[in-house]
Amino acid sequence: MHFDRRTQLFVVLAATFVACFVVGDIIGGKLLEYVNWNVSFVLSAGMVAFPVTFLITDLLNEFYGHKAARFVTWVGFGMAILSFSIIAVTVALPWPEFTRSPGYGGVTESAFDLVFASSRRILVASMCAYLIGQFADIATFRLLKRIARNRYLWLRATGSTVVSQLIDTLVVTLVAWWGTDNHARMPSMIATSYAMKLLIAIGLTPLIYAGHAIVERALGIQPVKLDNRGEVIVEPSRPGTALTPAVASAPDTVDQRSSSPS
């Protein structure tokens, strides 16, 4: 089987997305604090990994279309379920008696469980927010790209993240903390988390343009173009470039303007 550059890049992007998503959930129990003007901002350490998933989702949307981005989203969800299932089985397995002795210097049962046997409610909240947020991101990116006639990369990249992360933040906070002792702090938690995600979305814009340039110019892979219905236009391959994926057939009358970012 021949793997062209487009296929190779897709595998790399999908693998990186899944790795960052799963690791982000695992390390999410650690909290980070940033104090400025005597105001404390507390965030999950998962924010270290999740910006990479934002960037990759946009690249998947841009170069492979919404169907490919949805596929990777489902793969990520499945791998997260598999990972946490393995962790749950591992937590349930009995520990040998010598690990409970006072002089034992390795990982103890209490330390292991504290990290890996975290709240199931928070896990459910994270998974629900992930699916809803990702599908909102993909749909918004596609809509903005269609409305802008394949122009203005910054608009669809930032706009999709602004919409999807508002939904993601609302879902994860409501599901995780509604009815708990932290109920009164929910508005502050939502505002702080969403504000940070907005800053990250804006800060990622230059990286999205850089990634777009590397993929298109260095690797010779062209971004997909959308017709007036938001479907991917299939274009014939050009010598020396990778094939545009045949995701959907295009009608005879479509807008085939340049999709280079503005």
Three-state DSSP at 226 gives: strand
- CATH number at 17 reads 1.10.1760
Structural domain contains residue 17? yes
Cβ–Cβ < 8 Å for 176, 216 = no
Domains held by the chain: number: 1
pLDDT at 2: 73
Burial code (b: 16+ CB inside 10 Å, e: under 16) for 122-159 equals bbebbbbbbebbbbbbbbbbbbbbbebbbebbebbbbb
pLDDT at 231: 83
Structural domain contains residue 193? yes
Q: The domain containing residue 52 runs over which residues? A: 5-95+110-218
pLDDT at 252: 37
| pLDDT by 10s per residue, the chain, length 262 | 677 889 999 999 999 999 999 998 888 777 777 777 777 777 778 778 888 898 899 999 999 999 999 999 999 999 999 999 999 999 999 999 999 998 898 999 988 888 888 767 778 888 899 999 999 999 999 999 999 989 999 999 889 988 998 998 888 888 877 776 666 777 877 888 888 888 888 888 899 999 999 999 988 999 988 888 878 886 544 544 444 454 433 333 334 444 445 5
Cα–Cα distance for residue pair 169/174, rounded to 1 Å: 8
Structural domain contains residue 236? no
Structural domain contains residue 246? no
Cα–Cα distance for residue pair 150/231, rounded to 1 Å: 12
Three-state DSSP at 125 gives: helix
pLDDT at 181: 63
Cβ–Cβ < 8 Å for 166, 194 = yes
CB count in 10 Å sphere of residue 257: 10
pLDDT at 198: 85
Cα–Cα distance for residue pair 160/232, rounded to 1 Å: 18
pLDDT at 261: 53
